[in-house]
Amino acid sequence: MAKSGFMSHVRAVRTPLSCSRVALAVLVAHVFHEGSAITTTTPFSAVISSSGDAQDMESPGQFSGTDDTSSKPTTIIVGVSDSGTRGMEDAVMHLGWQTCEQALTHNALDSTYTMNLKSAARSLLQKTGHNFSKQHEDVSDFPNAVHDETDDATRTAECIRSSGGDLTKPWGYKQPYHILLLPVLDSAFERKTKYLLVARDPRDSSSAHNQIQFRSFRHSVNDVKDRLDYWADVWKMVLDYYEDSDHARIIRIEDLVMPDPETNSNLYKVCNFMQLPQPYCSQDKVVTVLRKMHSFSGEYMGHHYEFTSSDRETLVNKVLAKTNQGLFESMDRLGYNVSEFGLTHPSSKIVL
């Protein structure tokens, strides 16, 4: 598939990490400062001043560390059904974000250390009626999931440390289905870990070949039968609970892939949110990553798998025929045009 070309390119310019496992991990816990809005075409010079400081935000290189020791990831990447988390992970790894590479699956690059919570996710969703605000009330699956998540983070942190990584710099892991377990992550990491949620147009997401998440959790999320309804219900659940959060942000994969890479400032927003260190988020490195991502722009907005204009019209009509108002609400909040393929201004304030 086309995305694998981007993975190979990015991984080739990194120094691979090898991992080993021991009992404890040490990292520097930190507090992040939220960035301000930047338009898609804002040039780099307008984002970063001549002194190297970001205007109205911390410089991406300013990682706010403390002397506390813990195993709290700085950022976890999640998403809904083939949203682009794989490409997002590769991009930020190239820009200074650390993870345990030995623990990554071959194709999806998901962390194998964090794959053991699917049963807990299904159970919590079924018990709480897919209501995030009720997950913490569960007295069995919830505390067990918190314990397992904490252990998995410790293993990841120690893998990075023992491989020569610097745990005072940003690190974490990608596990898309953890979007269903965000309250567990809140409890495990005391809301000190940030979540980068990757969104993709539901017509692309629902027609993609990779439907592992949908097949795994469809019956736990409102027992949905339709991929569009799954996309809608998960995003509504997330947006309703995290709209006022200061540690969760959404990046639309189209905002990284579609615009001109020479003027696209959206990856700088990610750098700022994740506080990725300089010089990794320098203009040259960011533009290099964006150029490669942009080369796969033909795989988005209804053009994947060589879809024709007739195919795109069919996908649009499928959305228009839906009676699930949550689908239209989620599309509006994330900024996806309902009547045609295209981006609109998101009504949700947590979209970067």
Terminal-residue alpha carbon distance, the chain: 27
In a domain, 350, yes or no: no
Do β-strands 28-30 and 65-69 pair in parallel, antiparallel, or remain unpaired?
Answer: antiparallel
Over residues 115-129, the mean pLDDT reads 88
In a domain, 342, yes or no: no
In a domain, 52, yes or no: yes
**Whole-angstrom distance, CA of residue 187 vs CA of residue 209:** 33
**Whole-angstrom distance, CA of residue 31 vs CA of residue 312:** 43
Q: Domain holding 81: CATH number? A: 3.40.50
In a domain, 314, yes or no: yes
Domain range for 96:
2-334
Over residues 33-60, the mean pLDDT reads 33
Over residues 240-261, the mean pLDDT reads 96
Q: Which residue reads 């780099």 in tokens?
A: 44
Q: Tell me the pLDDT tens digit for each residue of 63-108.
A: 444 334 457 999 999 999 888 999 999 999 999 999 999 889 887 7
pLDDT at 70: 55
**Whole-angstrom distance, CA of residue 237 vs CA of residue 303:** 28
In a domain, 343, yes or no: no
Q: Tell me the pLDDT tens digit for each residue of 127-158.
A: 887 788 888 888 889 999 999 999 999 999 99
pLDDT at 277: 80
In a domain, 345, yes or no: no
pTM above 0.85, yes or no: no
**Whole-angstrom distance, CA of residue 318 vs CA of residue 229:** 11
The total number of structural domains in the chain stands at 1
Q: Tell me the pLDDT tens digit for each residue of 270-317.
A: 999 999 987 889 999 999 999 999 998 888 877 777 888 898 899 899
